[in-house]
Chains A and B, each alone.
Chain A
Amino acid sequence: MGKVNVRFFANLKDLAGTDSLDFEIKDNMTVKEFVSKLLNELPALKAMMEQRRVFISINQEMAQNDDIIKDGDEIGLLPPFSGG
């Protein structure tokens, strides 16, 4: 068991109703498992996460579905970028 800090941005921040929260994770939890657990607890994010290309970052680096999340990590949920 462990805890991560989840950061929300742009429309995901609006849907989550917060810009960050602490979230409990299991040992050896993958990004894919983390997203599934998060959506169970925050169903308001589900439509956006399923219909748009949302990137996940771990400690400010882009992550893949099978990457392992560790206690203390900072997880970013990043909607499609629109800078410039």
Chain B
Amino acid sequence: MVCSLLFPEADVVRIQKEDFSVDEEIKKVMTVSKSIGGVATFLGTARDFSKGRDIETISFEHYGGMAEKKLAELREKILSEHDILALSIIHRVGDVVPGENIVLIVAASKHRAAAFDACRACIDELKKTVPIWKKEITPEGDYWVEEHP
């Protein structure tokens, strides 16, 4: 278990409107243990195209309360299934424009392989289990996205 005093649960799993700093989030993860030898990150960002359409904005909606709970459960699952020392997950909601950050996963481990694997597993599972939805705002209209590419 990671040190909860240095790295409170509320801070490592967040859903927020505002942008985040990748550097700051990595620094927080690094405070967990001096045994960390590798940190892998996944940063999801907003594209300016989708299925041949230009994207003006992506609007994210979440089920408040349940989405945070599912993210926390996901973090516990990934921590228990991978040999990692720390994991943080941050997802933005509200309007995001192309080029901006959407989601950040930071996984830290003693050796690199576990951090890479945990990061990949975490984003794949997040897309399937956390009640967050995105709507693409385009010049041709607005479209809710349903698939998990």
| Residues of A participating in the B interface, judged by any CB pair closer than 8 Å | 7, 9-11, 14, 52, 57, 60, 76, 78-84
CB closest residue in chain A, given B145: A82
- Kindly provide the distance from the CB of B47 to the nearest chain A CB, expressed in whole angstroms: 13
- Kindly provide the distance from the CB of A61 to the nearest chain B CB, expressed in whole angstroms: 8
User: Which of A10, A14, A57, A84 gathers most chain B CB within 10 Å?
Assistant: A84
| Residues of B participating in the A interface, judged by any CB pair closer than 8 Å | 44, 60-63, 65-67, 69, 91, 102-103, 123, 126-135, 144-148
Q: Which residues of A are found within 8 Å of B62, using beta-carbon distances?
A: 83
- Kindly provide the distance from the CB of A35 to the nearest chain B CB, expressed in whole angstroms: 18
Whether B134 contacts A82 by the Cβ 8 Å rule is: yes
Q: Which residues of A are found within 8 Å of B131, using beta-carbon distances?
A: 9, 57, 76, 78, 81, 83
Query: 9 more A-B contacts (CB under 8 A) besides A10-B61, A84-B91?
Result: A14-B144, A60-B69, A81-B132, A81-B148, A82-B132, A82-B145, A83-B126, A84-B123, A84-B127
Whether B44 contacts A10 by the Cβ 8 Å rule is: no
Q: Which residues of A are found within 8 Å of B63, using beta-carbon distances?
A: 7, 9, 57, 60, 76, 78
Whether A83 contacts B146 by the Cβ 8 Å rule is: no
Whether A83 contacts B66 by the Cβ 8 Å rule is: no
**Contact with B133, one of A52, A57, A60, A81 (Cβ below 8 angstroms):** A81
Whether A52 contacts B66 by the Cβ 8 Å rule is: no
Whether A11 contacts B127 by the Cβ 8 Å rule is: no
Whether B60 contacts A83 by the Cβ 8 Å rule is: yes
Whether A82 contacts B127 by the Cβ 8 Å rule is: yes
**Contact with B128, one of A9, A76, A78, A81 (Cβ below 8 angstroms):** A81
* Interchain CA distance A76-B103 in the complex, whole Å: 24
CB closest residue in chain A, given B91: A83
**Known A-B contacts A80-B146, A82-B144; A10 and B66 likewise in contact (beta carbons under 8 Å):** no
Q: Which residues of A are found within 8 Å of B130, using beta-carbon distances?
A: 81, 83
Q: Which residues of B are found within 8 Å of A84, using beta-carbon distances?
A: 44, 91, 102-103, 123, 126-127, 132, 148
Q: Which residues of B are found within 8 Å of A14, using beta-carbon distances?
A: 144
CB closest residue in chain B, given A19: B61
The 7 closest A-B pairs by CB, nearest first: A83-B132, A10-B133, A60-B66, A82-B145, A11-B144, A84-B127, A80-B146
